[in-house]
Amino acid sequence: MRDVLCVPLDEENELVLATDCSGGIGLKQDDVVNVPYDVVGYYGARVAWMELMSIGATPKAFVLQNFVNDHAWHALVAGVQQTMKELQLSLPITGSSESNMPLMQSAVGFVAVGTVRKEEKRINITPTDACWAVIGEPLVGEAVIQKKDRIIPLSLFRTLLQLDGVYEIIPVGSKGIWHEWKLVHGERPLRCSLPLHASAGPATCVLISYDRAQQHFLQSLAGPLFYDFSRERGCPKSQCN
């Protein structure tokens, strides 16, 4: 089960909604992680876009729910716009700001809106002989800021979406790699050098399935961010074992 809502529009198309939220991250005194609001907007929007686009949906618009204050709106929007720039999108943004009740901590909600043709939806389409890997590393909180070089870039994510031989891309969230793996494979064992139960925060890594013929190309494309754990399926030597 993926973190998206698909609503039928007609016999061939579905409306797709993908969401994320952020709490305790911003510039308020009681925030747990202190970063500017454009950074908050960037990473929150990043998750929603990745969830939406990973199933093959075409982005149409973005909704921003700002519980910080009116003054944070423009910075949050700037962060959302940066994600769209990196994904080569130009789409409308709407939303609202809580201006009546002051909160002690920052809070923001993000919704990406799109459409997908039912026959092109990339959910549960991986062949049984496919290889699996993680690209990026699970990071959360301050580590997201301190280890940016270990996060899958949106530019790479966009490239993966367009590659023949990449079947599914599953953004990893706060429940970690093992949670996403289990949704696909049940309790099938998985051994990996990455921390399998660690939160991946704002989708700092993705789980992908792919044709083994693409192994070396994917490794060269992702470099040290590529962690393959498909050795038992006959794929080349992996970093996860």
Residue 132: CA count within 13 A, CB half-sphere: 23
Could you give the C-alpha distances from 79 to 82, 193, 207, in angstroms and in order? 5, 32, 25
Query: DSSP characters for the chain?
Result: --SEEEEE-SSSEEEEEEEEEEESEESSTT-SEE--HHHHHHHHHHHHHHHHHHTTPEEEEEEEEE-S-GGGHHHHHHHHHHHHHHTT----EEEEE--SS--SS-EEEEEEEEEEEGGG--SS---TT-EEEEEE----THHHHHTGGGSPPHHHHHHHHT-TTEEEEEE--TTHHHHHHHHHHTT-----SS-TTS--TTT-EEEEEE-GGGHHHHHHHHGGGEEE--GGGTPSP-S--
- Residue pointed to by tokens 């706060």: 174
pLDDT given at position 187: 72
Q: What is the pLDDT along the chain (241 residues), one digit of tens a residue?
A: 467 999 999 999 999 999 999 999 999 999 999 999 999 999 999 999 999 999 999 999 999 999 999 999 999 999 999 999 999 999 999 999 999 999 999 999 999 999 999 999 999 999 989 999 999 999 999 999 999 999 999 999 999 999 999 999 999 999 999 999 998 887 777 777 899 999 999 999 999 999 999 999 999 999 999 998 754 444 544 445 4
pLDDT given at position 235: 52
End-to-end CA distance of the chain: 26
Calpha distance 107→103 (Å, rounded): 8
